[in-house]
Amino acid sequence: MKDLLQFFRDKSLLSALLIIILAEISLQFGCYKKFLKKNSYAWSVNHITDTAVKSLSKLKPNTLIMGTSIAYEGLSPEILNEKLSNEGLVFQSLAIPGSELVVQELALRKILDEPNEIKYIIHVNELQLPWVDRLALLDSSLSMIAEFNRIQGISRLHDDEYELKINDYFFLLFKWVAYRRDIADFILSPDKRIKDIGKELNKDKNTFYAYKNEYLPSMSLYDFKSIDECISNSSPNSIIPNLSDKYHKDALFRTCKLAKETKLPIVKNNLTDIYKIRIRNLYGYINSKNIKIINIYPPVSELLDKVDYKERIKFWNTEFADIISETRYDLTDIIPIDNNSDYYYDMIHLNKKGMELFTKELIDLILKSNIK
């Protein structure tokens, strides 16, 4: 045992451990944040929330857009601000791709912890998607939660009734664990990462907006009339049409597969109850800040099961009658049926043309319905 104790005092072992601990401390203080892989979940959540925080003092937004990638791609705060400046509304987007409600809440808390003038939140609801009611945390959600106040994050996860495993705690508490894949990627492709960092440094720092949808390709390039045809026409071995690229094809393939594989029963069960608890928690927090919530049901592709979707909205409206405010708008059908696919980048997300239409419809709605 004496030798074992001596081993634990071994200079080599202690030096190595010390270096690891020092590195962990520097990671905890955010030294690695600037080097995170561009468009990774951790990078995105930092980029979006930091941009929003920075804009609080200069842009002075009073309306936040919240949601996932549908809101991120589908609504442009820049256009909204151009068109609605006379209405006394100033928009900023806090929509985060791939975010569960808990991530959206933590992002909102980060914003509201700063001096702000937020009075309205436009929440783009996605009731047809499978991840709103999951019990176990995905790595993507963990990555994003780890970027916020972790103690607050863990407390929110308990409130939202997630089933946390010991690995999840390690992920949330130790940055070596949270950033391990990112650091591994940096070690394997340092050239690409350094280029990205360079590009990021040269970017316009005065912009108020984290993102603008510039995607021109549309689903119609792949010429399909059903989900099955979509999967076949965008499969890995299929040809990429002009004006499309491999990223577009891949996104189309993945979202069409998701649409095919996602079959959610429209019945009340313990998972819908959990979603209810989570949205109640989020809205409870927003209400406690005296902020008005406006619910929006976003456009849905004609190729998705619309009948099912309408039923789902009806179901959720009944279920949420006591939680969701009266101010809710169904924009599911705003995209023209004839050339519906021209407005979508993939089965779920809008392209630039679609984004412009969705934003315009929201502007019209706001002008018509006096949300204030």
Partner 1 sequence: MLFNSFHFLIFFPIVWIAYQYSGKNKSLLLLLASFYFYMAWNYYFIALLLFSIVIDYYASISISKFGLTDPKRKIYLILSLVVNLGFLAYFKYTNFLLGIWNDLNLSNFKFSEYNIILPVGISFYTFQSMSYTIDVYRNVIPVRKSFLEFSLYVSFFPQLVAGPIVRAGTFFRDLENRLDVDLNVIRLSFAQILLGFTKKVVFADNLALCVDQSFSNPSLLGGIDTWIAVIAFMWQIYFDFSGYTDIAIGVARLFGFQFDLNFYFPFNVTSISEHWSRWHISFTTWIRDYIYIPLGGSRGSEWLVCRNIFITFLFGGVWHGAAYHYVAWGLWHSFMLITERQYARTKIREILNSQGGFLYSFSCRIFTIFCIGLGLPLFRADSLESSYIMLNKMLSFHHFSSESVINYGYLKLTVLLFVTGQVFEKYNLKKMMENNRSFTIFILVNFILLLCFSVSEAKNFIYFAF
Nearer to partner 1, 147 or 168 (CB): 168
In the chain the first and final C-alpha atoms are separated, in Å, by 73
CA distance 280 to 19: 44
* Closest separation in Å from C-beta 5 to partner 1: 10
Answer whether 136's CB lies under 8 Å from 166's CB: no
The sign one gets for the Cα dihedral 197, 198, 200, 201 is positive
Q: Which residues contact 25 (CB under 8 A, 6 or more apart)?
A: none
CB of 13 to partner 1, least distance (A): 6
Nearest distance, CB of residue 38 and partner 1, angstroms: 17
What's the min distance (Å) between Cβ of 159 and partner 1?
Answer: 26
Whichever of 126 and 250 has its CB closer to partner 1, that residue is: 250
Task: Specify the residue, 7 or 29, whose C-beta has the smaller distance to partner 1.
Answer: 7
Taking Cα atoms as reference points, which of 37, 35, 66, 41 lies closest to residue 52?
66
Buried b (16+ CB within 10 A) or exposed e, 326-336: eebbebbebbe
CB of 238 to partner 1, least distance (A): 14
Question: Under a CB-based contact definition with an 8 Å cutoff, are residues 327 and 278 in contact?
Answer: no
Residue number with CB closer to partner 1 (176 or 315): 176
For partner 1, give the closer residue by CB, 191 or 214: 191
Provide, rounded to whole angstroms, the least separation between the CB of residue 32 and partner 1.
Answer: 12
- Edge-first strand order for the sheet with 328-330 is 91-93, 63-66, 120-124, 292-297, 328-330
| Cβ-based nearer residue to partner 1, 19 or 216 | 19
* Smallest separation, CB 185 to partner 1 (Å): 9
Distance between CA atoms of residues 301 and 343, nearest Å: 9
Residue closer to partner 1 (CB basis): 83 or 175: 175
Q: Which helix (H) or strand (E) holds 77?
A: helix 77-84
d(CA 51, CA 281): 25
Residue 324 has a CB neighbour count (10 Å cut-off) of 18
Token pair belonging to 199 = 């590009």
Closest CA to 212 of 79, 44, 49, 108: 79
Residues within the interface to partner 1 (CB under 8 A): 1, 3-4, 6-7, 10-13, 15-16, 19-20, 167, 176-177, 180-181, 183-184, 187-189
How near is the Cβ of 132 to partner 1 at its closest, in Å? 25
| Burial bucket for residue 318 (CB in 10 Å: 0-12, 13-18, 19+) | exposed
Q: Which CB, 16 or 367, lies closer to partner 1?
A: 16
79 and 51 Cβ atoms separated by less than 8 Å: no
Q: Which residue lies nearer to partner 1 by CB, 129 or 177?
A: 177
